[in-house]
Amino acid sequence: MDNRLLPIGLLVLSNIFMTFAWYGHLKSLRESPLWIVILISWGIAFFEYCLQVPGNRIGASYFSVAQLKILQEIITMVVFAVFAVAYLKVPITRNYLYASACMVMAAYFIFRDPTSAP
């Protein structure tokens, strides 16, 4: 297995937790008091950080900080799109696709210079 896939996998998993912590309550805890929602979100976010911190630490051995950030943003957009459609039942709009295309271009520019990685 390519060791560069480990931090990407950890960042994908952390992003799933983050998306539920940030947006899951919009469907499942809509009637709950805000303080309960905050505590539940913090509990979920704990597991996000348990994956995100090692993902970035390991990833820093293979990617520059800028590359890690762009990877994270692309992962966020993909995870959020799946979450929005599957869980929140919100359609993906044309503007979301345009924004995603901009992120793909950002990835192209940040990864095209091989000297930018550690």
Which residues lie closer than 8 Å to 40 by C-beta, 6 or more apart? 25, 29, 32
Give CA–CA dist 97/36, Å, rounded. 34
User: Using one digit for the tens of pLDDT, what is the confidence trace for 23-57?
Assistant: 999 988 989 999 999 999 999 999 999 999 999 99
Q: Mean of the pLDDT values across residues 55-83? A: 92
Per-chain mean pLDDT for the chain: 90
The answer to whether the predicted template modeling score (pTM) of the entire model surpasses 0.95 is no
Give CA–CA dist 7/51, Å, rounded. 9
Query: Where does the pLDDT of residue 115 fall: very low under 50, low under 70, confident under 90, or very high at 90 and above?
Result: low
pLDDT at position 111 over 60: yes
Burial class (CB in 10 A: 0-12, 13-18, 19+), 90: middle
